[in-house]
Amino acid sequence: MNMLNRRTFVSTIVGLALVASAPFALADDKKMYIPLISKGFQHQFWQAVKSGADQAAEEFGVDITFEGPDNETMVDRQIDMLSAGLAKKPAAIGFAALDSQAAIPLLKQAKKAGIPIVAFDSGVESDIPVSTATTNNVAAAALAADKMSELIGGKGKVAIVAHDQTSRTGIDRRDGFMNRMKEKHPGIEVVSVQYGAGDQLQSTEISKSILTAYPDLKGMFGTNEGSAIGVVNGARESARKGLIIIGYDSGAAQKKAIMDGLMAGAITQNPVGIGYETVKAAVMSARGEKVELLIDTGFYYYDAKTINDPKIAAVLYD
């Protein structure tokens, strides 16, 4: 009886793992297989990248998988995903590095095995990737600075709520915004830059304290979805009227804030395009065709008037 029970449990454990995986195991036989190792997985932004990748996979007749760690600090988990991806002997790999240095040994291994790497979202500081599909974040944040200047009339105090100070995107967006203000809009002073880890609640608290500290603040820039929502929440909770808020990326909450007039507008990247171009470049390089070293996937500024423009609506996500 005792023995029987134990066996049942053990076989249930194994059975469950296998049953769950069987349908997937059968699929990857003849078609070209390309794993995408992303920086994240659960955020709407990454889901939009995935949808672009799926679209390209269907178009080019290849199989893809899309994986990323639970949060953007888990560098070692991403390395494990990359090494599992390599073990599957793929035709090519798409990779958005959390920390490019940490991944170099594996990327070298891929190069030795003749597996082309396509970097996406943020670059890898190495010459191994055959191509990088990304947004020019510096130029995109500079556009946000131009719009901010236009909306507050070229002078006054503004603040930045950024998502982090270590990642490439965080640095580029912050510096892109600040440098443009210094160069082109001397009447505007960036009085505070704070970091909320892209966490909505944390960014809300940060925004409220900035608003308390600077009663004459004219505008705020949130450097990603979570930061931007945080700024909107902070302004709402502090009952601050007339503050010009510019956000980044989209998402249902941010789109609604723009429609309701709480937010002036936002920069959107083209996540669907990032996913699509990554898979396309991976397929092409696996076939031995030449690909561009840098693929600019583009960005737009949108506001309540342009949000339904087909060109923009196509790259926004909920």
Closest CA to 243 of 271, 222, 223: 222
Per CB under 8 A, contacts with other proteins among 174-213 are: 195
C-beta of 25 vs 239, nearer to other proteins = 25
Provide the 10 A C-beta neighbour count for residue 255: 21
Per CB under 8 A, contacts with other proteins among 151-180 are: 165-166
Q: Which of 28, 54, 175, 199 binds other proteins (CB under 8 A)?
A: 28
Count of residues that bind other proteins according to CB under 8 A: 49
**Binding of residue 101 to other proteins (CB under 8 A):** yes
Q: In 3-state terms, what secondary structure has residue 129?
A: coil
CB-based burial, 42-61: b 16+ in 10 Å, e otherwise: ebbbbbbbbebbbbbbeebe
**Binding of residue 67 to other proteins (CB under 8 A):** yes
DSSP H or E segment with residue 219 = strand 217-222
Rounded to a whole number, what is the largest CA-CA distance in the chain? 82
C-beta of 71 vs 238, nearer to other proteins = 71
**Binding of residue 10 to other proteins (CB under 8 A):** yes
Q: Which stretch binds other proteins (CB under 8 A): 12-20, 129-137, 150-158, 215-223?
A: 12-20
Q: 37: which strand partners?
A: 67, 95
Q: How far is the CB of 88 from other proteins (least distance, A)?
A: 5
Burial class (CB in 10 A: 0-12, 13-18, 19+), 21: exposed
Beta 299-303 vs 265-269: how paired, if at all?
A: antiparallel
C-beta of 100 vs 250, nearer to other proteins = 100
**Binding of residue 222 to other proteins (CB under 8 A):** no
Q: Which stretch binds other proteins (CB under 8 A): 61-69, 137-145, 227-235, 268-276?
A: 61-69
Q: How far is the CB of 2 from other proteins (least distance, A)?
A: 5
Q: Kindly report the three-state secondary structure assignment for every residue of 33-89.
A: EEEEECCCCCCHHHHHHHHHHHHHHHHHCCEEEEECCCCCCCHHHHHHHHHHHHHCC
Burial class (CB in 10 A: 0-12, 13-18, 19+), 310: exposed
**Binding of residue 76 to other proteins (CB under 8 A):** yes
**Binding of residue 4 to other proteins (CB under 8 A):** no
**Binding of residue 239 to other proteins (CB under 8 A):** no
Q: Which stretch binds other proteins (CB under 8 A): 98-106, 220-228, 249-257, 265-273?
A: 98-106
Residues that bind other proteins (CB under 8 A): 1-2, 5-6, 9-14, 16-18, 20-22, 24-25, 27-28, 41, 63, 65-68, 70-71, 73-76, 79-81, 83-89, 99, 101-102, 105, 165-166, 195
